[in-house]
Structure 1
Amino acid sequence: MRLSGLEPTLDILCDGELPKILAGRYCLDRLLGAGGMGVVYRARDLLHEQFGDPDPYIALKMLGEAFDESPDASQLLYSEFALTRRLLHPNVLRPYTFEVDAVHRRTFITMELLRGSTLDKLLCERPLGLPWAELKTIAVPLLDAIAYAHERGVLHGDIKPSNVMLGEDGVRLFDFGLGLIEKGPLKSLPSLNRQRLNAWTPGYAAPELLEGGPLSAPADLYSLACLLYELACGKHPYQRLPSNQARDTGLERRLKAPRNLPRRCWVALREALAFDPARRRISATRLRDVWAGGFSWW
């Protein structure tokens, strides 16, 4: 979800059906961002404020108007909360609560308020990419977060620059709205048809997702590899080609290694960029180990 920096006044936020205060406790302050499925606001927790908390601000996420009318909208939002709550990792955004405002018939998630800039903004400021030393400080924590999630059976589903924050507390991955769980107790959550939502981000979604295939760990890995390549040299590996061109393996062969990447990192990254998911044999854990310098790929 792109954090746009838009700051409408509270009066604008309260126009239409959007209430000023949700669940009698959370006062909407300003819009932080809007993505394909949800909107995120900065809000004041009035209960914490009443007890003297000097920083009562939280992030509050609800589904956008188009998805809010869906019959399984609340279940979709709860699924995101349940998946994220399972991940206790320093580089994954922390959710606080899943809430229901019965009066206004809205569900929402409260989360820690991130302070910093998303990677899409960093890419705009650094069009030639990042030097290896700087890139590594972003890539390794992000790879570790994905490896951690995959080890617990959680898939993200929408890895892209605007869903990664670089802030005061380092790298944070967020927005698991398209994620799902492959194993563990949460496997019993009702299955949601994410293909029906048509919410994949074409520039980063794996080809098989755009062709109607299921989300998988290799699909997550492809999205992550596109992001890492872009951070390394400032441009997308395939220039955001539409899915009907994505199976051209000649494009893979013409990929050039970013000049600032160690050879071991490029060999591993190139495998993760394969169009065919069967050829993405490297895992997020192994890719992390290669980029961290503790594993040789050849």
Structure 2
Amino acid sequence: MDTALDSANSPAGSHVAGKPAKAAMPAVKQHGELPNVLSNRYRIERLLGVGGMGAVYRARDLLREQYGDPDPYVALKTLNEEFAEYPDANALLYSEFALTSRLRHSNVIRFYAFNVDRTSQRAFMTMELLKGPTLDHLISERAQGLEWAELQQIAVPLLEALQASHSLGVLHGDIKPSNVMLTADGLRLFDYGLGQPVQGLLPGLPRLSRKRIAAWTPRYAALELLEGGQLSEATDLFAVAVILYELSSGHHPYSRLTAKQAKCMEQGDSLRKPDKLPTHCWSKLKVALAFDEDQRATTVAELLAAFSYQPTGLLQRLFARHG
């Protein structure tokens, strides 16, 4: 069966950055069905969601429960049945864990551990269990868009999470409203399953073959991704810009079309500022929504600065002038 990983980065018998790879990983037996209890510790309770490659479950940590933890629940992610059959399935999931466990930010989901269940040989990782609505629910409820004060409370932590990821060399790869949750203690960006490190970071890490697997969400994917290009900070920038436009207007900037379809229909020419969005934000957001990567002449940091800006009120200006 074909591998889901780039051959140049496959852990068995490959060469990385011109150097021989480490010894091949031992072969594992065929993956079995997901058991009710993994590694004699995590009891699966119910399915929370299924993505392009993975499935996430609510699980009870029996060890934490044994020692009286009042909240022994975790989110447990494993590859779905289709991807679990790939020869490099466990390495595929480990790549996500190795990449995202580097992240330490209050608005990025927290990862706990990576394990392989001995009986089934199914790899899985545990992370914090998130509770709350995702942004797609919020967008569907607010057809007229969010007021500026509300939008700012979501945009700033979302952009901070993405900027923190990029500063550590981690590209998300599939930013969309359903991968952002509003929890009781703040916003969380999650699901880095299609993410990659920037060039030169973690060179021995197996990478997903994007020629074989195109699991990202088309209407949030930048044009270069749809045309077979590489994931980059600019592709994440485009996706987050689409979300910010949806939050501020209540609708997709390009009528829920893909960037390729919208460019063919010249929808970029008719893009207009959402009524509730401040002008100083629109100048940056519009550039971030450009179809062509070389026209996306801004950064996540510049977008964050625009959405963080607090204009001085009239009374404050008067006091500053006459104080």
TM over 0.5: yes
- Where 2:52 maps in the other structure, the secondary structure is coil
For the pair shown, which has the larger CA radius of gyration, 1 or 2? 2
Alpha-carbon distance between aligned partners in 2 of 1:31 and 1:290, rounded to the nearest angstrom: 39
- Where 1:197 maps in the other structure, the secondary structure is coil
The percentage of counterpart residues that share the same residue type is 58
1:161-200 matches, cutoff 5 A = 161-183=177-199, 185-200=201-216
**AA paired with 2:48?**
L
**Match for residue 108 of structure 2?**
92
**Match for residue 127 of structure 1?**
143
CA offsets 1:187-210 (integer angstroms, 9 cap, x no match): 331233123112021110111111
Confirm whether residue 22 of structure 1 aligns to residue 38 of structure 2.
Answer: yes
CA offsets 1:134-169 (integer angstroms, 9 cap, x no match): 010000000011111111111000000000000111
Give the Å deviation of 1:225. 0.3
Confirm whether residue 80 of structure 1 aligns to residue 82 of structure 2.
Answer: no
**Match for residue 71 of structure 2?**
55
Give the Å deviation of 1:235. 0.5
Alpha-carbon distance between aligned partners in 2 of 1:148 and 1:184, rounded to the nearest angstrom: 18
**AA paired with 1:123?**
I
Q: Comparing 244-253 with 56-65, which one deviates more in the overlay?
A: 244-253
Alpha-carbon distance between aligned partners in 2 of 1:31 and 1:250, rounded to the nearest angstrom: 41
Q: Comparing 221-230 with 192-201, which one deviates more in the overlay?
A: 192-201
Question: Contact (CA 8 Å) 1:76, 1:177: kept in 2 or not?
Answer: no
Confirm whether residue 160 of structure 1 aligns to residue 176 of structure 2.
Answer: yes
Structure 2 portions without partners, runs of 5+:
1-31, 312-323
Match of 2:227 among 211, 225, 239: 211
Give the Å deviation of 1:276. 0.2
**Match for residue 238 of structure 2?**
222
**Match for residue 127 of structure 2?**
111
Confirm whether residue 67 of structure 1 aligns to residue 83 of structure 2.
Answer: yes
Alpha-carbon distance between aligned partners in 1 of 2:251 and 2:132, rounded to the nearest angstrom: 22
Alpha-carbon distance between aligned partners in 2 of 1:186 and 1:246, rounded to the nearest angstrom: 36
- Where 2:158 maps in the other structure, the secondary structure is helix
Alpha-carbon distance between aligned partners in 1 of 2:50 and 2:87, rounded to the nearest angstrom: 21
- Where 1:203 maps in the other structure, the secondary structure is helix
**AA paired with 2:266?**
G
**Match for residue 9 of structure 1?**
none
- Where 1:264 maps in the other structure, the secondary structure is helix
Confirm whether residue 266 of structure 1 aligns to residue 282 of structure 2.
Answer: yes
Question: Contact (CA 8 Å) 2:174, 2:192: kept in 1 or not?
Answer: yes
Tell me the number of residue pairs that the alignment of Structure 1 and Structure 2 aligns: 280
Q: Comparing 243-252 with 76-85, which one deviates more in the overlay?
A: 243-252
Q: Comparing 47-56 with 61-70, which one deviates more in the overlay?
A: 61-70
**Match for residue 251 of structure 2?**
235
Give the Å deviation of 1:183. 4.8
Over the aligned positions, Cα root-mean-square deviation in angstroms equals 1.6
Alpha-carbon distance between aligned partners in 1 of 2:298 and 2:88, rounded to the nearest angstrom: 35
CA offsets 1:164-186 (integer angstroms, 9 cap, x no match): 00011111000000000015652
Alpha-carbon distance between aligned partners in 1 of 2:260 and 2:77, rounded to the nearest angstrom: 34
Alpha-carbon distance between aligned partners in 1 of 2:252 and 2:202, rounded to the nearest angstrom: 34
- Where 1:166 maps in the other structure, the secondary structure is strand
**Match for residue 57 of structure 2?**
41
**Match for residue 317 of structure 2?**
none
**AA paired with 1:197?**
I
Alpha-carbon distance between aligned partners in 1 of 2:114 and 2:36, rounded to the nearest angstrom: 18
Question: Contact (CA 8 Å) 2:109, 2:188: kept in 1 or not?
Answer: yes
- Where 2:156 maps in the other structure, the secondary structure is helix
CA 1:142–1:243: 2 relative to 1, 3 Å: closer
Alpha-carbon distance between aligned partners in 2 of 1:156 and 1:125, rounded to the nearest angstrom: 26
Alpha-carbon distance between aligned partners in 2 of 1:272 and 1:88, rounded to the nearest angstrom: 26
